[in-house]
């Protein structure tokens, strides 16, 4: 992994001059399967964070919520607006399930995959050499193996301008204008990235789970066998390892710009938590951070937010 450092110096003058030097680490990650993208600068939005304990979280931005509470149990750098890669697929998943419930889409309907511009991105077609799939299999591939062509096929079926539909839905959910969707899959589009903040991703995840709890039947699968007997492996290593009791989702993500991301959820003793980890440096780091967040949250079940 190649690391570069960008430093900015600001001069503040009140009655005396004080020089403050801030350095931001930015990583250049060797392209892997999900995407090869140029990292864009993180946008910083001023917002007073809640005090949080030192859990040794390594990701740039992270948060932990009880699904029934609006205040976080833990948050770190919630003001950072960062690319979210395939975590974007949570919005596509929501809209697919909404269309199924509204009877505007059928699980048995067949769709065709189209080639992706990014040949390195995870692709159901490249994995199986098969173009025609049922909606149910595409839905599974999008969630379990994070197939980008499956997500794009579903998005195209639902709207001629699917990103506009995604952003309209985000607004109706109460997501801030710091979130912006440009593709169904999370891949960059015309040089733009899908971006968000931890609070908005909590709102999206909680709305998805609350309105369509059946989503957990798919997000909890470590593998999935399609209707034509292809086995798809999950990108969520925590499912296979069973390292967190009650963990049943939700979605991983990676691009060079986003780093390694994960929105997780687990339920223990009737309490459901949602964790958000953004811009971790490695795939293992995002899962280690998730384990720390969940352990803290379930050990402090009676707190609505961090208390000193």
Query: What b/e sequence results for 278-294 when a residue is b if at least 16 CB atoms lie within 10 Å of its CB, and e otherwise?
Result: bbbbebebbbbbbbbbb
For the segment 239-256, what is each residue's pLDDT rounded down to a tens digit?
999 999 999 999 999 999
CATH code of residue 78: 3.40.710.10
What local confidence, expressed as pLDDT, does residue 302 receive? 56
Structural domains counted in the chain = 1
Range of the structural domain that residue 295 is part of? 2-299
Bond prior to 250 in cis (omega within 30° of 0): yes
d(CA 242, CA 34): 24
State whether the Cα torsion 100-278-260-248 is positive or negative: negative
Does any domain span residue 308? no
Q: 0.85 exceeded by the pTM?
A: no
Residue 234 appears among annotated catalytic residues? no
Does any domain span residue 306? no
Residue of 36, 59, 86, 196 with catalytic role: 86
Does any domain span residue 74? yes
**Contact status, residue 40 vs residue 257, Cβ threshold 8 Å:** yes
Query: Please, is 29 exposed, middle or buried when counting C-beta atoms within 10 Å of its C-beta (0-12, 13-18, 19+)?
Result: buried
210-228 mean pLDDT: 97
What local confidence, expressed as pLDDT, does residue 15 receive? 34
What local confidence, expressed as pLDDT, does residue 10 receive? 35
For the segment 125-167, what is each residue's pLDDT rounded down to a tens digit?
999 999 999 999 999 999 999 999 999 999 999 999 999 999 9
pLDDT band per the 50, 70, 90 thresholds, residue 300:
confident
Query: What is the percentage of the chain residues whose pLDDT exceeds 70?
Result: 81
Does any domain span residue 243? yes
What local confidence, expressed as pLDDT, does residue 37 receive? 40
Residue 146 appears among annotated catalytic residues? yes
Residue 89 appears among annotated catalytic residues? yes
What local confidence, expressed as pLDDT, does residue 56 receive? 94
22-28 mean pLDDT: 32
Does any domain span residue 92? yes
pLDDT band per the 50, 70, 90 thresholds, residue 12:
very low
Residues 6 or more apart whose CB falls under 8 angstroms from that of 101 comprise 212
Does any domain span residue 268? yes
Least confidently predicted of 19-33, 65-79, 219-233: 19-33
For the segment 97-119, what is each residue's pLDDT rounded down to a tens digit?
999 999 999 999 999 999 999 98
Residue 251 assigned ligand-binding role: yes
Residue of 39, 52, 62, 146 with catalytic role: 146
What local confidence, expressed as pLDDT, does residue 8 receive? 37
Residue of 62, 89, 123, 185 with catalytic role: 89
Does any domain span residue 141? yes
């Amino acid at each position: 992994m190649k690391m570069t450092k960008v430093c900015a110096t600001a001069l503040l003058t009140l009655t005396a001059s004080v020089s403050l030097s801030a350095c931001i680490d930015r990583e250049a990650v060797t392209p892997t399967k999900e995407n090869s993208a140029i990292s864009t600068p993180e946008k910083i939005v001023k917002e007073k964070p809640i005090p949080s304990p030192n859990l040794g979280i390594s990701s740039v931005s992270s948060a932990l919520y009880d699904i029934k509470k609006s205040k976080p149990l833990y948050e770190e750098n919630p003001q950072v607006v960062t690319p979210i890669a395939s975590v974007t697929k949570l919005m596509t998943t929501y809209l697919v399930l909404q269309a199924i419930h509204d009877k505007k889409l059928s699980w048995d309907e067949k769709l065709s995959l189209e080639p992706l511009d990014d040949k390195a991105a995870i692709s159901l077609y490249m994995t199986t050499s098969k173009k025609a799939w049922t909606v149910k299999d595409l839905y599974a591939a999008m969630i379990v193996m994070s197939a980008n062509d499956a997500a794009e096929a579903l998005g195209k079926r639902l709207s001629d301008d699917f990103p506009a539909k995604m952003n309209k839905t985000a607004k109706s959910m109460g997501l801030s204008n710091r979130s912006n969707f440009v593709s169904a899959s999370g891949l960059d589009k015309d040089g733009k990235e899908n971006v968000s903040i931890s609070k908005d991703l909590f709102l999206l995840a909680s709305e998805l789970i609350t309105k369509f709890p059946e989503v957990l039947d798919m997000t909890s699968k470590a593998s999935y066998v399609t209707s034509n007997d292809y086995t798809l492996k999950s990108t969520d290593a925590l499912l296979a390892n069973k390292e967190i009791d009650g963990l049943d989702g939700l979605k991983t993500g990676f691009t060079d710009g986003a780093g390694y991301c994960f929105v997780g959820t687990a339920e223990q003793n009737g309490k459901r938590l949602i964790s958000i980890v953004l811009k971790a440096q490695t795939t293992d780091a995002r899962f280690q951070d998730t384990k720390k967040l969940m352990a803290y949250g379930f050990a402090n079940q009676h707190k609505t937010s961090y208390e000193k």
